[in-house]
Amino acid sequence: MHQPPCFRRTACGPKIRRRGFLQVVGASALALQMDALDSASSAFGAEAPSGGRPVIHVAFVRPQQTPVVSWPGGQTDVAAQQALFAQTLSEAAAALDVELQARTEPLENREQIDQYLTQFKQVPADGLLVCAMELTQWADILYLAQNRGDVPLVIYSNMTSFTGHMLPTRQVPGTYVGATPDVSWLAFGLRMLGTIWRMKHTRLAILAGTETNEVVVPRLGTTLRYLPAARFDEELAQVAATDEVRAMADAYAQAAQEIVEPQAAEILDAARNYVVCKRIMEAEQCQGLAFACLGRSNPVCMAFSRLLDEGVVAGCEADVNAALSMLLTQLLFGRSGFIQDPSANTVSNTLIGAHCTSPTKLEGFAQPYRAPYKLRSYHTRTGASMQVLWPEGREVTVMQLAGPDQMILGSGRVVSNVAQPPSGCCRTAVEVALEGVADTDACKGFHQLFVLGSLERAYRAYCQLAGIEVVHI
């Protein structure tokens, strides 16, 4: 559905610098350093999704005794190689909160594979990861892939195939073959399987309209908890400017490059919005939310930026596809994307994505990097929103789940942050030079995500595993 354009700003309101703000609000100790952005909101820490953890089975396919004339052959300590794979998976499982069920005895013939598949289908399994460790057994790997049922399957191959050997297996639905000498890739293979499970076990609150309802997204399995949009203001009326709220407002004022338009009270209100988001998620047992927020005099932009930096879905304009795109990105890469309205620069053939909020922890919510930002007004020329300045020259991925069955994907590089003034658009405005796009005015989608990093191939891997069609932007 086409989204309404942003209101354009034609004049700036009165400016207040950080020092003036702190004199009005009262500088707290939490606001004296950049890391105060973490400390100030620690009292409202994000809740992790509940409901257990995914169970992933692991198997190794190889002969007990590797023939000398083989691949990888006699120059490889295959048993030590399997031990390395197993250790890598075990460490990744602990970090990702995944339960591993590993068969340490290798599968070396069709009879053993049949026995394994019979047992595998009788126990709970949210995914299967198979290490293919011998060139001559790719027919067995294909057989296993074709007969394991509908459980998502990742196959890892470390220099155990020639070109063409893996191709039939790569074409089996719900299967991804990761062939690379990079043993650490196993962690991402495990993460993909866990992501499929976690998409099915996450609840998002959607504040829009007047009805209360609950639906499950086909294929993805995410639960959408629809709530009346008025719920937000009802909760807001109950939130006072507590010490924690003031500390958060102080922290954002202190860390900003500049406070251009917002007044002290507006930045305090922006911090109150954050508490409202947390209360609604807790009350509704949701791990993220999206809100029909367009046009409010007290925008949720700063609160949403805070949530995104914590790794919590915070979706603008109650856009479900955008919220699901954000959830998938957070689960796969440990970082948040930037929901944006796309505009074509037909002179330079670049794409400008603009919105009034963005994460600042663009490299990941567990990473120390924060993008610089300014505090600005919103479309309504009131309130506090975020003008986040993205790192120019860095690679960026553009993605959007266009429904549960299709993903729009593209890659590019950050060219500039659009200055305001003289331009008038949503506050965070990032210009990207896209690869392989003849005319950016013909780009697919709306509210696509900009995600820092070169992630297109990794997204494609997940789509192959999860049965999602990929179309180029």
Residue 289: which of 271, 313, 310 has the closest Cα? 313
**Amino acid letter, 384:** A
Q: Residue 51: its pLDDT value, please?
A: 60
Q: Tell me which of 3.30.750, 3.20.14, 3.30.420, 2.50.20 is the CATH number of domain 18-41+201-472.
A: 3.20.14
CA distance 164 to 174: 19
Assigned token pair, 36 = 């105060």
Where are the domain boundaries for CATH 3.20.14 in the chain? 18-41+201-472
Q: Residue 356: its pLDDT value, please?
A: 87
What residues are paired with 225 via a beta bridge?
205, 214
Q: Residue 380: its pLDDT value, please?
A: 87
- Tens-digit pLDDT profile for residues 212-257: 999 999 999 999 999 999 999 999 999 999 999 999 999 999 999 9
CA distance 353 to 439: 15
For residue 69, name the pLDDT band (cuts at 50, 70, 90): confident
Contact assessment for residue 443 and residue 381, using Cβ atoms and an 8 Å cutoff:
no
For residue 337, name the pLDDT band (cuts at 50, 70, 90): very high
Mean model confidence pLDDT for the chain? 89
Q: Residue 225: its pLDDT value, please?
A: 98
Cα 209 to the center of its chain, rounded Å: 26
Average pLDDT value for residue range 427-437: 95
Residue scoring higher pLDDT (37 or 324): 324
Contact assessment for residue 103 and residue 116, using Cβ atoms and an 8 Å cutoff:
yes
CA distance 325 to 272: 26
Q: Where are the alpha helices (DSSP H) in 36-160?
A: 36-39, 78-96, 110-120, 138-147
CA distance 357 to 290: 13
Three-class DSSP category at 134: coil
**Amino acid letter, 147:** N
High-pLDDT (> 90) share of the chain, %: 81
Instruction: Please classify residue 258 by burial: count the beta carbons closer than 10 Å to its beta carbon, then call 0-12 exposed, 13-18 middle and 19+ buried.
Output: middle
- Can you state the angle between helices 18-25 and 243-255, rounded to 10 degrees? 170
Using alpha carbons, list the distances in angstroms from residue 66 to 12, 117, 196, 214.
73, 23, 35, 54
Q: What is the DSSP string of 439-461?
A: -GGG---SSPEEEES--HHHHHH
CA distance 369 to 361: 6
CA distance 276 to 239: 7
Radius of gyration of the chain, Cα coordinates, nearest whole angstrom: 24
- Tens-digit pLDDT profile for residues 192-207: 999 999 999 999 999 9
Q: Residue 252: its pLDDT value, please?
A: 96
What residues are paired with 472 via a beta bridge?
409
Where are the domain boundaries for CATH 3.40.50.2300 in the chain? 55-199
CA distance 185 to 174: 19
Contact assessment for residue 434 and residue 411, using Cβ atoms and an 8 Å cutoff:
yes
Contact assessment for residue 100 and residue 94, using Cβ atoms and an 8 Å cutoff:
no
Q: Tell the residue number behind the tokens 């400390």, with chain if given.
A: 39
Window from 4-13, 340-349, 372-381, 442-451 with minimum mean pLDDT: 4-13
Residues 6+ apart with CB under 8 A from 73: 66, 67
Using alpha carbons, list the distances in angstroms from residue 379 to 12, 195, 292, 300, 307.
11, 35, 14, 12, 21
Q: Residue 426: its pLDDT value, please?
A: 85
Say if residue 3's pLDDT is above 60. no
Q: Residue 19: its pLDDT value, please?
A: 36
Q: Tell the residue number behind the tokens 């020092």, with chain if given.
A: 19
Contact assessment for residue 289 and residue 204, using Cβ atoms and an 8 Å cutoff:
yes
Q: Which CATH class is domain 55-199?
A: alpha beta
Residue 429: which of 442, 419, 440, 439 has the closest Cα? 419
Contact assessment for residue 189 and residue 212, using Cβ atoms and an 8 Å cutoff:
no
